[in-house]
Amino acid sequence: MNRRTVLLSLALFLLPVIVAATPPAWQIDSKKSAISFSAIQNNSPITGQFTLFTGEINFDPTQLSTSHVNIIVDIGSVTTSYKEISDTLKTPDWFDVKLFPQAIFKADKFTKTGDKTYQAEGNLTIRDKTVPVTLQFTLEEYQNTKALIKGTTTLKRTAFGVGRGEWAKTDAVKDNVQVNFVLAVVRE
Amino acid sequence: MKITNTENQYGIVAILLHWGMAIILIGMVALGLYMTALPVSLLKLKLYGWHKEFGVLVLILVMLRIVWRIANITPSLTSLPWWESLAARSVHWAFYGFMLALPITGWLMTSAAGLAPSFFGLFVLPNLIAPNESHRLLFAEIHQWLAYGLIATFCAHVGAALKHEFIDKDEIMRRML
């Protein structure tokens, strides 16, 4: 066996090891995690949460190129400080929960932007609209078995058709909606 | 016309506060009665927004008005029988009570909905209490009954003023014109 053959066989043996070095799969600890939003109505903030969401998080800050996430939000779990608004948000003019029960965020492009800060570029689907979205997030904590991620992004609600008919006007309910999230994740 | 009040006449500041607030309050009661009956819509949301903004204005104006009233003499009612004078003063102080209690209960009920009132986009007031549906309903009910009380007091006040002008034919009403 010449040297080239040896190297080639070695490479072939190592290949599965390299491929297997994918980012770890994290489980979301839903009790310590939250997705909230803040919009502006009548020049005043209104805040709310989506209390139910699940997701697959395969993330490692040292393997950003192979990291990927897929978050699924149960839109029907929307709650705000005022029930009439929560109920209105579920109607066909807003989220249309019956027709579009889930919002999905998928991202596989991660960039380090600072000491503990990153950005994720992906696609967010709300209702039947998919729009590219960039999230900024901070790894508040990152250990072998647990991590804490806090992040934010600002969406334009009309880009997703959230607020149709007269509600598509952005004078009383502004277009920009800030979304904040805290993800407490664990793994075996 | 004088800026401050005299023994026999209201000054321009008191007159402007009286009529300015009268117009705002009549509009607010009418708006309140109309908007609460509307189904959820963009119009309803905007009307609630205006109601809150003018409510903050009422609260600011009534505080200025109370300061002005205390810092100033009030034209006397000594020409009237004691019971009529007492009734007039009671109605005036009842108005101050309504003008304070209505915006404050309004602020409390919108706080209980987590929807802080904005002052015409210039600033946002803080929420006085945490969001709570049963508190919201309680303050909404108090707010509603205060508004009915204001309407009743308004009728007594306007009735009395018109009686002085057209039946007694005295100077009482003209002091506020």
Average pLDDT of span A58-65: 92
Of B40, B52, B116, the CB nearest to A88: B40
User: CA of A171: which chain B residue's CA is closest?
Assistant: B46
B32 in Cβ contact with B50 (< 8 Å): no
| Segment A28-33 long-range contacts (CB within 8 Å, at least 24 positions apart) | A28/A53, A28/A54, A28/A55, A28/A57, A28/A183, A28/A184, A28/A185, A29/A184, A29/A185, A29/A186, A30/A54, A31/A184, A32/A182, A32/A184, A33/A181, A33/A182, A33/A183, A33/A184, A33/A185
Q: Do A80 and B114 touch (CB under 8 A)?
A: yes
Of A44, A81, A167, the CB nearest to B118: A44
A67 in Cβ contact with A110 (< 8 Å): yes
The residue extents of the domains of chain B are 12-176
* Cβ neighbours of A92 (radius 10 Å): 13
| Whole-Å CA distances, B52 to A6, B102, B119 | 80, 11, 8
Interface contact A143, partner B, CB < 8 A? no
The residue extents of the domains of chain A are 22-186
What is the structure's pLDDT at A1? 56
What is the structure's pLDDT at B79? 83
Average pLDDT of span A135-161: 95
> Is B8 or A110 the better-scoring residue by pLDDT?
A110
A124 in Cβ contact with A155 (< 8 Å): yes
What are the tokens at A142? Answer: 């990152």
What is the structure's pLDDT at A16? 54
Of B40, B46, B117, the CB nearest to A44: B117
> A1-29, pLDDT tens digit by residue?
577 777 667 666 665 555 556 888 999 99
What is the structure's pLDDT at B78? 81
Average pLDDT of span B150-176: 90
Q: Which residues of A touch B42 (CB under 8 A)?
A: 166-167, 169, 172
CATH: 3.30.70, 1.20.950, 1.20.1630, 2.60.120. Which one for B12-176?
1.20.950
Query: Class for domain A22-186, per CATH?
Result: mainly beta
Of the listed ranges B30-44, B98-112, B159-173, the one predicted with least confidence: B159-173
ipTM above threshold 0.85: no
User: Confidence band (pLDDT; 50, 70, 90) for A97?
Assistant: very high
% chain A with pLDDT above 90: 86
Average pLDDT of span B94-113: 97
